[in-house]
Amino acid sequence: MEFTEKQLQILEIAETLFAAKGFEGTSVRDIAEKAGINVAMISYYFGSKEKLLEALFKSRIGSVQVRMENLIKDQSLSPLQKINLLIDEYVERVLQHENFFKIMVTEQLITKNPSVLSSLKQLKLRNVELITQLIKEGQKKNMFRKKVDVVMMVNTMIGTVWQTTMNRDFYFELHPAPVGSTDSANTILIKRKLSIHIKALFKVILTHEA
């Protein structure tokens, strides 16, 4: 996935617009205008609006996998520590790329684009595989219980993070932050809350007998 500087700039603007108005709700003219370029440049650079979306997925998903892979190999950490790090990593990643996650969630339900769908499926598989491996390691060392439904566990993590992130405003209406607190301070708060919450849930799923 090699993209030029110009392409990356267009992708970034497309990302914010797709997140705010949806893929179908965003016109190529919207993107061109906000990027300060001519409409024709989108076809010129990406071929089509559809292929622009594919490029966005390839670009964003490609940059994810690396750090996770190294986690498994680390011998100095216990299985539970690894799981906890994985949770932190995931929470961090979603909140850092909120816009792309919006697009992922909304688009995976309605797109028929085979390239996008296969990117998503590959990502999901990788997630499950990775956690499965971590859990097996913990089971071998008798630190985790035997029967664990990995898919359900992943669903809880992804779902909770998703639901919390997308309803962040609602949360702060119910739990008003101190006046004058910045948006980024709130983000940190949400991150910590999510991390603690999910770690507690996972610990139970993994260690308590049913």
Return residues touching its own copies (CB under 8 A): 19-22, 24-25, 102, 105-106, 108-110, 121, 124, 128, 149, 151-152, 155-156, 158-164, 166-167, 170-171, 174-175, 193-194, 197, 200-201, 204-205, 208, 210
Which residue from 1, 6, 149, 196 is in contact with DNA, where contact means CB under 7 A? Answer: 6
Helices (H), 22-149: 28-35, 40-46, 49-62, 65-73, 79-96, 98-110, 114-140
CB of 124 to its own copies, least distance (A): 6
Does residue number 38 form part of the binding site for DNA (CB under 7 A)? yes
Which residue from 42, 86, 120, 206 is in contact with DNA, where contact means CB under 7 A? Answer: 42
Partner in contact with 29, chosen from its own copies, DNA, none, beta carbon below 5 to 8 Å by kind: DNA
CB of 53 to DNA, least distance (A): 10
Instruction: Tell me phi and psi for residue 24, to 5 degrees.
Output: -65, -30
Nearest alpha carbon to residue 113 among 39, 52, 46: 52
Query: Residue 25: is it exposed, middle or buried by C-beta count within 10 angstroms (0-12/13-18/19+)?
Result: exposed
Does residue number 200 form part of the binding site for DNA (CB under 7 A)? no
Q: Which is nearer to DNA, 27 or 207 (CB)?
A: 27
Sign of the C-alpha dihedral computed for residues 110, 111, 116 and 118 taken in this order: positive
Question: Do 11 and 58 contact (CB within 8 A), yes or no?
Answer: no
What is the contact mask toward DNA in residues 44 to 63, using x (rule: CB under 7 A)?
Answer: x--xxxx-------------
Please name the residues in contact with 81: beta carbons below 8 A apart, sequence gap of 6 or more.
none
Kindly state the helix (H) or strand (E) to which residue 186 belongs, with its residue range. Answer: helix 183-207
Angstrom distance (rounded) from CA 81 to CA 64 = 20
Tokens of 100: 């792309």
From 39-47, 80-88, 162-170, 195-203, span contacting DNA (CB under 7 A): 39-47
Partner in contact with 42, chosen from DNA, its own copies, none, beta carbon below 5 to 8 Å by kind: DNA
Partner in contact with 21, chosen from its own copies, DNA, none, beta carbon below 5 to 8 Å by kind: its own copies
Residues found near DNA in the complex (CB under 7 A): 4, 6, 26-30, 37-44, 47-50
